[in-house]
Amino acid sequence: MADALGIDPGSYKTVLACVKQRGIEIVISETSAKWTPTIAGFTAEERLIGDAAVNQMKKNFKNTAMFFGRFMGLNQDCVKQLEEENKFITYKQVMMDNKKIGFELSVRGEAHILTPE
């Protein structure tokens, strides 16, 4: 059993590691890789993350969120940075009441706001 879990979310890859008795062990993904894609996809029936989201990305590109790690820590005041980052996304960016940034995606036919933090 692991005592601690470490998560390193990157722009495209996320690495998980846990502390075991013999040291730190990288958690292997479902495709036996040492990292998992930082991608979430939403279809009419389910929510997909990681490799499963990558596999359905071509069929459901507008409801697949990726690169949202690039928006962590940004708010509405970061105008130039947001203009640059918007080149990498296909989903709608929404400005929240607390000056944070959200992304609007359709989940089971309903619009939902996803926040990167």
Question: What DSSP line would sit under the chain, residue for residue?
Answer: --S-EEEEE-SSEEEEEEEETTEEEEPP-TTS-SSEE-EEEE-SS-EEETHHHHHHTTTSGGGEEESGGGGTT--TT-HHHHHHHGGG--SEEEE-TTS-EEEEEEETTEEEEE---
For the segment 23-38, what is each residue's pLDDT rounded down to a tens digit?
Answer: 888 988 888 889 888 8
pLDDT of the residue at 17: 92
| pTM for this entry | 0.67
Structural domain for 68, as ranges? 5-114
Q: What CATH number does residue 51 fall under? A: 3.30.420.40
Give the chain's residues under pLDDT 70.
Answer: 1-2, 116-117
**CB of 38 closer than 8 Å to CB of 14:** yes
Number of structural domains (the chain) is 1
pLDDT of the residue at 117: 63
The closest of 112, 83, 113, 90 to 100, measured between CA atoms, is 113
Average pLDDT, the chain: 80
